[in-house]
Amino acid sequence: MRLDRYGQLKPVVSEARGFSELCPFSPDASDEDAIARERFGSARHYDPLIGRFEAAYVGYVREGRYRAEGSSGGMASWTAVELLDRKLVDAVAHVVPGSGDGTALFRYQVSRTVEGVRNGAKSRYYPVELSGVVEEMRRRPGRYAVVGIPCFIKALHLLCAQDPVLRDRLAFTLGLFCGHMKSARFVESFAWQMDTPMDAVTGVDFRLKNASRPANWYTAELRLKDGNTRAKDWWHLVDGDWGAGFFQNSACNFCDDVVAETADISFGDAWVEPYASDGRGTNVVVVRSLVLQELIARAVGEGRLDLKEVDSAFVVETQAAGFRQRREGLAFRLGWPRVSIRLNKRVAPRWRGLSVRRMLVYWLRSMISAGSHRVFWLARRLRLPAVYIRWASAMLSLYQGVTYSRGWIGRFIDRICR
């Protein structure tokens, strides 16, 4: 995998044997339903949006500093540490800050100690890839847990179907809910907007925690080589509206898995009140493995976790925007004329029933995603950040006018739609 000119990781060897059954977006690969049926065939619950599962929860880690150090309620790191502590795995593959040498800001690491796992806490909206992890799993025997977004977890299961050694060694998959993945230019854009040269940046915290502010008021913090930091709230950044889709990978336009349906357990943010307003962070957790279900139930009984059982409707509500984009929005996008591959999704192409305004929202989001890569590339070539920032600012006003009726564009669209 190599970064392309837009700062997105792309495979350089796409003719490798079995590739078309391996790529999670390939029409030749098994879909999430088929993988989950094989892995969790006797799960207690099924929901068309959440998939098969044993139990779902909302809450956070009570013990230690997992919650304070995590992006959300700290459950992902806690679970990974618990697996190591109880010797259910020998190693955890997850994403940690890069070496600070000016190359990638984040990378996958195979951690074999509790400290190693804990140092990797927090969400990274930054391109990463699994080749080193797969190599280490093949080379060094043991039981591994891997943390990843839905398409990564699906790809691992597809790989395991081809590779008995990996199948034997992959003991647990820990999924992160996912809205979409960003390109490496997302951070560069932050740097431009914080008047900081990118080569002065050694690290980034996409979601600086502040217990006294709502959890969904994101603040990004850049760490600089000279020891200083720069921070800005996402809503003061031209590309900080997650829903507008700036720098989104194009593959994410064709994903229908929000909650990592093929993972043994998955973690997201509880984006409903009162949890969304609690700056300390609150997870939603979907458990599919019986071993993990027992582990969690015991820890709740011991008072180490503060989790309340919820139903699938609650989990869906916490990800309402993600599901709209990946069901209704996906059905709309699948209906667009396409000359290349015929995709094989769990959603059928459909335009009917959508209001013109809703179609406009989905169309704008796609245009912003595609446009942001290209306009940023041009601005970078010209060394003129303003080219991108002005374009992004105009697109943001358009998007927010159409979507949230904001500003004069919103009033105008409201009048037409009435």
Among 183, 283, 289, 372, binds ligand FAD (CB under 6 A): 283
Pairs from 384-390 (Cβ < 8 Å, separation ≥ 24):
385/192, 388/189, 388/192, 389/192, 389/193, 389/238
CB of 249 to ligand FAD, least distance (A): 10
Unique residue bearing structure tokens 């459909």: 350
Q: Whose Cβ is closer to ligand FAD: residue 254's or residue 405's?
A: 254
Instruction: Work out whether 120 is an interface residue with ligand FAD (CB under 6 A).
Output: yes
- Radius of gyration, CA atoms only, the chain: 21
Residue 59 burial class via C-beta count within 10 angstroms: exposed 0-12, middle 13-18, buried 19 and up:
buried
Q: Whose Cβ is closer to ligand FAD: residue 222's or residue 389's?
A: 222
Among 122, 185, 288, 373, binds ligand FAD (CB under 6 A): 122
CB of 205 to ligand FAD, least distance (A): 11
Query: How does DSSP classify residue 212?
Result: T
CB of 9 to ligand FAD, least distance (A): 11
Size, binding site for ligand FAD by CB under 6 A: 34
Among 23, 84, 181, 263, binds ligand FAD (CB under 6 A): 181
Strands 106-111 and 229-233: unpaired
Residues 6+ apart with CB under 8 A from 324: none
Q: Which of residues 95-114 bind ligand FAD (CB under 6 A)?
A: 95-96
Side by side, which strands form the sheet with 265-269? 106-111, 91-97, 144-148, 170-176, 265-269, 283-287, 55-61, 305-310
Sort residue 405 into left (φ over 0), alpha (ψ -120 to 50) or beta. left
Instruction: Work out whether 401 is an interface residue with ligand FAD (CB under 6 A).
Output: no
CB of 123 to ligand FAD, least distance (A): 3
Instruction: Work out whether 177 is an interface residue with ligand FAD (CB under 6 A).
Output: yes
Q: Dihedral (C-alpha) 349, 350, 356, 362: value to the nearest 10 degrees?
A: -30
Instruction: Work out whether 245 is an interface residue with ligand FAD (CB under 6 A).
Output: no
- Tell me the sheet residues that pair with 97: 106
Instruction: Work out whether 74 is an interface residue with ligand FAD (CB under 6 A).
Output: yes
Q: Whose Cβ is closer to ligand FAD: residue 222's or residue 285's?
A: 285
Instruction: Work out whether 193 is an interface residue with ligand FAD (CB under 6 A).
Output: no
Interface positions with ligand FAD (CB under 6 A): 70-77, 80, 94-96, 120-125, 128, 147-149, 176-179, 181, 267-269, 281, 283, 319, 322
